[in-house]
Chains A and B, each alone.
Chain A
Amino acid sequence: MKAFGPGRWKKAVVALAIAAAIMNAGCKKKDVDPFPASGAVAGWEKTGDTRVFAAKDLWQYIDGGAEQYLQAGVVSTATSDYKYQDQLETVVDVYTMGDAAGARKILESGQTNDAKRVQVGDAGIAYEQSVTFRKGPYLVRIVAYEATPGAQQALIALAHGVEAKL
């Protein structure tokens, strides 16, 4: 076998570095802010700071509930509070999963017969006080703390606002 000369080593190292950079860029998720600003969706105001939890710290946010997300490959979780027409208090959670399969797994595991399918993202479901949808590797859960007339439509509108930013 012919040994590598100094020039060939150099070329090989450069080629490997370029390949690694391309692979890294391909795997890296785009840096997104999924949270609509106040007023971006009619009637909705962002009332809290955005908090972000890495997978290893998810227990700080949903201790005990974190396991299913970890098993599905969650990478990080971002959350913020919202309020609709100064009345309906709501929380928006955006889970960034390792891939779309992870988001699908969570969405499907949370579905029940009384869920209403909604056209948000790649797939979505709604209940009276909540909307959950997935888009690519993102799983978004929007939950209102109270049931009020028109809450579901307002939540779906906010879901579209989040979807547009993903």
Chain B
Amino acid sequence: MKSRREFLKEAATGVVLLGSSAAADKLALAGVLEQHAAAGKSKVVIARDASLHGAGTQPNEQHVLNLLDKAMSAYTGREKPMEAWKSVIPADILAGGVIGLKVNGLGGRGISTHAALTMAVAERLQQAGVRAGNILVWDRNERDLAACGMTISTDPSRVRCYGNDAGGFDDEPVSWGTANIRLAKILTRECAMVINLPILKDHGGAGITFSMKNMYGVVDKPFTLHANNCNPGVADLNCLPAVRGKVWFTIGDAISSVYDGGPGFHPERLWYPNALVVGEDRVALDYTAWQMIEHKRAEVGMPTLEGVGRAPKYIATAADFAHQLGTCDPKRIKLVEV
């Protein structure tokens, strides 16, 4: 299978044959994606809504949906939500492919991808033409999904939801650099593409966890990738073709976050950025997420992650010549805040 980078390269050089409607759709998509990467920069959108939580600790569902629309509009330049989604998801996948929504429930109920966001994405996908049963919300296991407020369902007429504990892993391991693991069948066999829905957190090992680190939930033995502050484990894992090629759009949950003590739930270190962070360049997204965490730590008088020996060095590794997963050069990131 071609990686998206390879596809874009081929589209630009005319290698892709235009004989099929799918190929034409993909070429159109490539044009859109090039627009998103305006002037050679990777676009990252941070959309905020200070009123997201209202009086309670759970975000208001309608406000989350509105914030998602705002983020998608800012990212794609399309005002109408359906047009925005159709400009991001390839037509052939909209028509019949399974779209995975990879959430993150590792930290438990207090600090997991919010159900309001997951269901808002599922709602907009259905309105854009995706059949409910072709949407699959997934994470490591049933407990993690419950932490995300999700209920297990395999009913093909509804949005499906189950974990790797039910889906299983490929029999054969795959390798890239230090990564030598078995991937979840949900990723390799079920999904045509995956929308990454991580939650922004400090991480005791990696420094921060957001877009790329969320892929630890698609492998059988994530602990084998923890050495040396997850560097180069995170970058190597994201270079595996199935991860690189299928997981290329992130809607990051920064509705709430922990700026220290993560990845578990530490309510004394909880804060509410009330934001979504959207983009395609996973490295630029993680760089942006890192800056958000550092900003908060500085605000409360905490040392930098570098200062406590936890700088997320895997981000630079992911951008290096060997990995080329994106950019962490702020001059090459077009940050849009709405």
B-binding residues in A (CB < 8 A): 59, 62-68, 89, 91, 110, 112, 114-115, 127-130, 143-147
Q: Are A64 and B205 in contact (CB under 8 A)?
A: yes
Closest residue of chain A to B56 (Cβ to Cβ) is A146
Range, interface on chain B: 20 to 34
Closest residue of chain A to B265 (Cβ to Cβ) is A143
Does B226 reach chain A (CB closer than 8 Å)? yes
Q: Are B267 and A62 in contact (CB under 8 A)?
A: no
Additional pairs, 14, CB under 8 Å, beyond known A63-B222, A130-B268: A64-B203, A64-B204, A64-B205, A64-B263, A65-B204, A65-B262, A65-B263, A112-B268, A114-B268, A115-B268, A129-B267, A130-B267, A143-B267, A145-B109
Contact with A along B226-269 (1 / 0, CB 8 A): 10000000000000000000000000000000000111111110
Q: Are B204 and A68 in contact (CB under 8 A)?
A: yes
The list of the 4 closest CB pairs from A to B, nearest first, reads A129-B267, A127-B268, A59-B223, A64-B263
Chain B residues numbered 188-237 whose CB sits less than 8 Å from any CB in chain A = 203-206, 209, 216, 222-223, 226
Q: Are A128 and B264 in contact (CB under 8 A)?
A: no
The residues of A that contact B206 with a CB separation of less than 8 Å are 64
The residues of B that contact A110 with a CB separation of less than 8 Å are 261
**With contact pairs A130-B266, A144-B267, A145-B110 given, residues A59 and B205 touching in the complex (Cβ less than 8 Å):** no
- Could you name 28 residue pairs across A and B whose Cβ atoms are closer than 8 Å? A59-B222, A59-B223, A62-B106, A62-B263, A63-B106, A63-B216, A63-B263, A64-B205, A65-B262, A65-B263, A66-B223, A67-B204, A67-B205, A89-B109, A110-B261, A112-B268, A115-B268, A127-B268, A128-B267, A129-B268, A130-B266, A130-B267, A143-B265, A145-B57, A145-B267, A146-B57, A147-B57, A147-B267
Chain B residues numbered 90-141 whose CB sits less than 8 Å from any CB in chain A = 106, 108-110
The residues of B that contact A143 with a CB separation of less than 8 Å are 110, 265-267
The residues of A that contact B209 with a CB separation of less than 8 Å are 64
A20 CB to closest chain B CB (Å) equals 33
The residues of B that contact A62 with a CB separation of less than 8 Å are 106, 263-264
Contact with A along B36-57 (1 / 0, CB 8 A): 0000000000000000000001
The residues of B that contact A145 with a CB separation of less than 8 Å are 57, 108-110, 265, 267
The residues of B that contact A67 with a CB separation of less than 8 Å are 204-205, 226
The residues of A that contact B216 with a CB separation of less than 8 Å are 63-64
